[in-house]
């Protein structure tokens, strides 16, 4: 299983719990520090309910379908703006509210 994409790391860790960061880096063709940093993020997210599902490949595919459907239904069909869609995602804990960046008086989210 040699892949340069780290998206399957959570699934790999579940199957190979005793692997070192160095061995995982070789499998994923990535640096040891990238693997370690990604594992720390997974560990921190695991404190949220349901986080382990969204770390899996199946969970990521479901999340993509949810985001595309929400943008299509709310944004395109209903004409709801990006600010309301962002509010929806923050209310269902998909994204954390971020401070808007300002560039020449225009708000960028």
Give the model's confidence band at 109: pLDDT under 50 very low, under 70 low, under 90 confident, else very high: very low
Pairwise CA distance, residues 2 & 17, whole Å: 18
Boundaries of every domain in the chain: 6-48, 57-108
Give the model's confidence band at 84: pLDDT under 50 very low, under 70 low, under 90 confident, else very high: very high
What was the pLDDT predicted at 8? 78
DSSP string, 13-54: HHH-TT--HHHHHHHHTS-HHHHHHHHHHHHHHTTSTTHHHH
């Amino acid at each position: 299983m040699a892949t340069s994409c780290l998206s399957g790391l959570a699934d790999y860790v579940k199957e190979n719990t005793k692997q070192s960061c160095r061995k995982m880096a070789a499998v994923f063709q990535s640096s040891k520090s990238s693997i370690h940093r990604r594992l720390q993020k997974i560990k921190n997210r695991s404190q949220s309910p349901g986080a382990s599902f969204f770390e899996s490949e199946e969970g990521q595919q479901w999340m993509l379908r949810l985001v595309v459907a929400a943008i299509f239904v709310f944004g395109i069909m209903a004409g709801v703006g990006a600010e309301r869609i962002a509010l929806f995602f923050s209310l269902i804990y998909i994204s954390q509210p971020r401070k808007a960046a300002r560039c020449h008086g225009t708000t960028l989210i």
